Structures are given as structure tokens and as C-alpha cells.
Chains A and B, each alone.
Chain A
Amino acid sequence: MAKIKSVEDLKKIKERIEQANQKLIENNNHQKLVEIKVAMATCGIASGARPVMDFLIAELPKRNIVARVKQTGCMGYCYAEPTLEITMPDEKPVVFGYVDLKKADEIIERFIKRGELVDGIIPINYELAT
């Protein structure tokens, strides 16, 4: 890829990223995606985040859910690892703790498909400096 040589170049990349996101939505019949973030820092991986993430990546398409699963770093909830953050289209993100495969399945079936909350929600208790 071409190297960033100016502030403009950086802005263009940012625009390109935003456009790509938009395109992804367009490609999906203008249906917004379910965004799933799996906390995959050492602590998360150690408590079993990887199989959960693999499970989600494998199962969501099978269950006809258009979602984007991505790994992130530590969310800080060490006491409740593995943790997931799920953002349903046009809604606020919800964080789930203690997610094992069974819980992941429950989250897909009840939260993502039917909009019910599932046990193990972690209320967001911080403010971001962004």
C-alpha cells in the first residue's frame, strides 16, 4: 500500500475505512451488522475466550446472523472473563461476563435473535476519553 506522506493521506485512510464499513452494510442489503467484540488479552485467552470466539465465528453464519466478530484487548473485567461486548444495530453495547460455550449459545439464541437479556450482564461503569 502507498505510504502515508501527509496529514491528508492519514485523513484519506480514515475515510477509506469508514467507506469500507458503509460498503459492508450495503453488501448486506443495507442491514446493519451485529458487532461482537471478544476480549482477547492474555487474561481472556487464559480463561477461555478463544474457543468462544471460534464458536461465534463458526455458528453465527450457520444461524443466519450477519455479524462482525472481532478480537480486542482487555476490557478490565478480570473477575468476569471471558467477556464479550455485543452491539445490536442502533443500540447501545451490552457487555456479558463469564461467557463459556453454553452461555455463548444462549446469547445468540436469546439476546441476538430475540432481544432478551441474558444473565451475566456487566453494567458499563466507566467513561471514555475519546
Chain B
Amino acid sequence: MSPKFKKSILVCNGSSCLQASKVNLIAEFQAKLKEYNLDNEIQVVQSVCFNKCTLGPNIIIQPENVEYSTVTKEDIDDIIIIHLLNNKIVERLVYNQVYENSGSTKKQYRIALRNCGFINPEVIDDYIEKDGYAALAKCLTEFTPQEVTQQIIKSGLRGRGGGGFPTGVKWDITSKSVADQKYVVCNADEGDPGAFMDRSVLEGDPHSIIEAMAICGYCIGADKGIVYIRAEYPLAIKRLKIALDQAKEYGLLGEKLFGTNFNFEIDIKYGAGAFVCGEETALIHSMEGLRGEPTLKPPFPSVSGYLEKPTNVNNVETFANIPAIINKGADWFASIGTEKSKGTKVFALAGKINNVGLIEVPMGTTLREVIYDIGGGIRDGKKFKAVQTGGPSGGCLTEKHLDLPIDFDSLSAAGSMMGSGGMIVMDEDDCMVSMARFYLEFTVEESCGKCAPCRIGNKRLHEMLTKLCDDKGTLEDLDLLRNLSNVVKDTSLCGLGQTSPNPILSTMQNFYDEYHAHVVDHKCPSGQCKSFMRYYISEQNCIGCVVCARNCPVNAISGEKKQLHVIDQEICIKCGICMDKCKFDAITLN
């Protein structure tokens, strides 16, 4: 099979490139190639986004992988003559001469996702081929538990579930608790709206979690592991079960692993999808068969957890990093990232962004890089407005934060949080008040109801935000909203209530003018809140045909035949039927 074409021109078909280009580059290239009689040797291919959106339109020429940016119709001749015919580079268009093999231009670095998408998750041999279980073997046969724990401490790995507590330190504390039985728990109760990194890891690389849990068991002195996974993840459960069976069959779980005296087994417990069960004390209660509700810490699970035994709870992504740290060394891991946040972080990019997806970037990558270079910028060429990180517990970051290097501490300092890694991008059409309301709706739904501020406070916050969105708010409401947000944060029992007002507080801080507009100007600047819309009948165009009045479902329109009709704003439900029915363009939306 010899390729028919000698070279290929990959033209980015990402929407921001399309927007930036005034012409159809593919058609232009094809036409020019025909002119030069090259259309049988060189093909033009439309490609998915290159993630260089700010510099679009972008093209890549293969097989040499040279990337050109800001390519216009006028550049096509140069590219054909200089590059395609004479094999030289068009220097002025080069984004980075060698697209492949440089590494530096690649924003993503995959540690936790190193096997996701590469191995068959249902075949243990695929994992072993990629050095699977070598880390466990190394730990058990070459190091003491303390030495392994020290490695993890040295690596600087922090919990990826949201809290950001140093993983090694947690292991160390649990290892020092004295008990006849200890447990390793993997928290796979992923609940943030729009977050799916844990599911992806379990679906794509379940053995890495099994291996990491066994390593953790070795370090803390536990011979039992439990994966607490939400029952809504059937595929992840299926693959995890297959992986557990295979690991048992290979003797990688069970007794005397690698000929040592270390035994380890893993069970699965299912969660019913309650968000609060991601909180570790609530998770433990749920595993015990009790109502999934948090209790006051201390005692921490590392002292008294599952069945009142010392329990180490880590999140899926945290565990996914462990084998890589053991295999490549703590120093390697610690060399990635920022001073206090080491390694990488997986984010689930969602919202008004072109490349919705799962990404993994080194700590310290800026929001701009994530949103524009990897995420491909804002959909439909709209203006970026805010990004919500940390799910319902997080806050909104704005344009002024775009160059903020992302890590645990920088996000907290900016009024948001890392959370589990959800990242929802919003554009100019999104109303911040209504966004805050969306998140509150979620927390109202997910509060367990144990403590009063979360149970009732979030409900009241949601009601107040609804009032604002319905054009019924007053200035006083804004003060009350702020006070109640602070009290709920300050007095709630667990992390859910302690963070649930964050979306309100951060939007009030960054977009106070929008709140102000809702109550003072009675306007929703982004136009998202429907209650602020008004349908009017224009004096010029209305001929009094009564069609609108006849079709109004709530009889909000009145007027005599051949007379100007009027809409009663009190009755109008803003359905828009009158506008559709009017043949004289007499109805306007304001």
C-alpha cells in the first residue's frame, strides 16, 4: 500500500478558525493546487481543532508536520511555491516550526490519564504491557511501607477530590493509627455537575486504581480496600469488576502478593448518587448502610472511619497518579507543577467552549491556555465572560483571572476552588445571577438536610435568586443575600454547605453590576432572564386585526377592531405567540 498522496494539508475546521478565516480555505487550497497541477499529489483535509485558536486560521502540512498560523487566501501561493514545491519553510507563518517532537508547545501532560484511550481496560495484559503492577511489585519487594509513604509525601501529591490535602501525609497519619483492621477507600462518588474524570479513569484504566489501592494498603497497614462508586456508572462498575476478577486470577489481589506477607482484597460498594456522599464522613456512613450524612470532624476517618476503624479515603484521580509516581520517582513528579501544587490536574471542560472534553495539564497552566489553546476558545466567536471551577462549591473567575496559573492555592485566593476539576465556561449570553441560581438549585437538591443553615439557608438563597431573576428583587435583597451567604458558609456542618454560597459570593464580587442591574434597572444585561422581557405592540404597524388578541393564551391583549391593541404586562407570560402570529411586524420584544 503506497499512499496516493505525497503530502497532506490539514486545515483546521475548528469554529474559531472558521470564524477567523474570511474565505473557505479548503476550497481555496483545492483550487490553487489544481492550478499548480498538484491536486493528484497533495490532498487537502479538514481537521478537528488544533488548539491554537487565538492564532487561527491554522493549517498543518504533513508528513513533515509543519504548522502555519494566521493563514489567509493571499498566503496560499507562498505555501505552495516555497513549501510544497521547494521544500522550504514559510518562516513568517510558522507558529512553531516543529509541531511534533517538541513537547513544549503541548499544553497537556497525561499522568493520571496515561493509559486512558490506549489500553483495553477489560484486558489486564494490556495494563501489564504498559508496566502495570510494576509499581506494586517494586513497593512490596524493595521498600518498607514508610519508605513508600515518604516517596508520596516527597512527590507533593495532593488530594484531587477537592480538598487538596497532602496524600502522603494522610497515609502517614492513617498508618500511625493503631487498630486490628484498617481500610483503604477509593472515593468514586463523582458528583459535581459536568465532572467525569473519575468515571473516565475507571472506564479507561481500572487496574491503575487497583494497583494504587494495594500500594496504599501496604503503606497504611490495611488488607481491605473498598471502592465506593455511584451506581449510575454502570460501565465503570462493569470494567472495575472485570479488572478485579482478572487481578485476583493473576494473584495480584488476594494473599501473599508477590510472595510477600502482604494480603489485599477489594470490594465494591455502590452509592445512590447523593452528592453529599462525596464528603468522606457521609461516604463512610453510606458504606455502613446508614443515611449518607456527614458528621463533625474530628474524629477524622484516618483515626475512626469505616466501622470505626482507621480509614484512608482518596479520590480516583489521586490514586491514578500513584503508580506513575512510584515508577518514575517522587522527584520527577515534584518537578511538574507549581511550588505547592505538584503534578497535573485533570479537568472536565464544559460549557460554551469549542473543545468540550477531558484534559490533563500540569499545575500552573493558565486559564487562558486551558480555555483558548486546549479548549479552542469560546463557541461561535462569542466573548468570554467567566469560568466556573470547582463545581457547585466553586466560584467564578473572570477575564482578569485568565493569566492566573491554576493550582490549589491560586484558585482559593481568587475566590474559587480546584474542586474535583469541573470547568464550565460561560460567554456573554450567560447571566451570572441565573448561573448562581442554577448552582443553588443543585445544592438545595443535594443537601442532606442535617444542619439548619444548609437545609433552610440554601433554600432561601435559591428563593432570593429566583426573585432576582423574576424581576422582583430589591436592593435590600442584595444585602440579605450577601449576609445569608456568609452565614451559611460560616455555620454549615460539612463542606457542602460551607461552600455552596461560593457561586453567589464570587459572582457578587465580580459581577455586582449585573446584580445591581437586575434590581435597580430591572434589566438582565445578558438577556437570559426571561422575566425582564416585554412584548409591545407598535403604534405604527398595528392595524387592529385582532389576530394577536385571539391567539393570546392568557387574554393579555385587548383592543377594539381596527384600533391599536395593547398588551397587559401583568398578565403576559412572554410566550411570544402574538409575535409569531402578527403579520404586520407590529409586535416588538424589548
Partners in one complex: yes
**Docked CA distance A115–B7 (Å):** 10
User: Among residues 98 to 131 in chain B, which have CB atoms less than 8 Å away from a CB atom of chain A?
Assistant: 99-100, 103, 106-111, 113-123, 125-126, 128-131
Q: Answer whether A72 and B133 are a contact pair too, CB < 8 Å, given A7-B141, A120-B48.
A: no
Smallest Cβ distance from A21 to chain B, in angstroms? Answer: 8
Verify A72–B60 contact, CB threshold 8 A. no
Q: Does A41 contact B (CB under 8 A)?
A: yes
Cβ distance B208 to chain A, nearest Cβ, rounded Å: 11
- Alpha-carbon separation in the docked complex, A118 to B117 (Å): 21
- By the criterion CB–CB under 8 Å, are B250 and A17 in contact? no
Which of the listed residues A2, A37, A72 has the most CB atoms from chain B within 10 Å of its own CB?
A72
- Report B529 CB to chain A, min CB distance, Å: 28
Residues in B377-422 with C-beta less than 8 Å from chain A: none
Residues of chain A lying within 8 A (CB to CB) of residue B110: 126-129
CB-CB < 8 A to A77: which residues of B?
Answer: 48, 355, 357
Please measure, in the bound complex, the distance between the C-alpha atom of A77 and the C-alpha atom of B47, giving whole angstroms: 13
Q: Are B258 and A70 in contact (CB under 8 A)?
A: no
- Tell me if A59 counts as interface (CB < 8 A to partner B): no
Contact A123 B60 (CB under 8 A): yes
Are the CB atoms of B117 and A74 closer together than 8 Å? yes
Chain B residues numbered 221-255 whose CB sits less than 8 Å from any CB in chain A? 233, 235-236, 249-252, 254
CB neighbours (8 Å) of A42 from chain B are 196, 199, 203, 233, 235-236
Pairwise interchain contact A10-B4, C-beta atoms closer than 8 A: no
Is the C-beta of B62 less than 8 angstroms from some C-beta in chain A?
A: yes
Name which residue of chain A comes closest to B343, CB basis.
Answer: A129
In the complex the two chains form, is A115's CB within 8 Å of B5's CB? yes
Q: Which A residues are in CB contact (< 8 Å) with B113?
A: 76
Complex CA gap A116/B39 in Å reads: 13
Partner among A73, A115, A121 whose Cβ is within 8 Å of the Cβ of B10: A121
A28 located at the interface, meaning its Cβ lies under 8 Å from any Cβ of chain B in the complex? no
Residues A119 and B129 in contact in the complex (CB < 8 Å), given A73-B121, A75-B116, A125-B108:
no
Q: Is B3 within 8 A of A79, CB to CB?
A: no
Q: A74-B200, A127-B106 are in contact. Are A117 and B8 (CB under 8 A)?
A: yes
CB contacts (< 8 Å) of A114 on chain B: these are: 1, 3-4
Q: Tell me the residues in window 349-388 of chain B with beta carbons closer than 8 Å to chain A beta carbons.
A: 354-360, 374
Collect the chain A residues with CB atoms within 8 Å of residue B358's CB: 74, 76, 78
Cβ of A130 < 8 Å from any Cβ of B?
yes
Q: B435: CB under 8 A from chain A?
A: no
- Structural contact, B130 and A130, CB atoms closer than 8 A: yes
| CB contact under 8 A between A74 and B203, given known A116-B3, A122-B48 | yes
Structural contact, A14 and B250, CB atoms closer than 8 A: no
Known: A3-B251, A7-B141. A126 touches B204 (CB 8 A): no
Q: For A85, what are the chain B residues with a Cβ–Cβ distance below 8 Å?
A: 117
Set A1, A41, A119, A127: member contacting B46, Cβ < 8 A: A119
> Which of the residues A119, A128, A130 comes within 8 Å of B13, measured between beta carbons?
A119
Does A45 touch B at the CB level, under 8 Å? yes
Could you tell me the distance between the alpha carbons of A79 and B49 in the complex, rounded to whole angstroms?
A: 10
Is the Cβ of B107 less than 8 Å from the Cβ of A74?
Answer: no
Q: Contacts of A127 on B, CB cut-off 8 Å? A: 103, 106, 108-110
Q: Return B156 CB to nearest CB of chain A, in Å.
A: 15
User: Is B506 located at the chain interface by the 8 A CB criterion?
Assistant: no
- Told that A1-B250, A41-B204, A76-B113 touch, could you supply 12 new A-B pairs with CB distance under 8 A? A7-B141, A42-B233, A43-B200, A77-B48, A77-B355, A120-B48, A121-B45, A122-B49, A125-B108, A125-B374, A127-B110, A128-B109
Residues of B within 8 A of A (CB): 1-5, 8, 10, 13, 43, 45-51, 60, 62, 99-100, 103, 106-111, 113-123, 125-126, 128-131, 133-134, 137-138, 141, 196, 199-201, 203-205, 233, 235-236, 249-252, 254, 256, 258-259, 324, 328, 354-360, 374
Query: What are 27 A-B contacts defined by CB distance under 8 Å?
Result: A1-B249, A2-B251, A4-B251, A7-B141, A10-B134, A41-B203, A41-B235, A43-B196, A70-B120, A72-B120, A73-B121, A73-B200, A73-B204, A75-B116, A76-B116, A77-B48, A77-B357, A79-B48, A114-B4, A115-B1, A121-B47, A121-B48, A123-B50, A126-B106, A126-B109, A128-B109, A130-B114
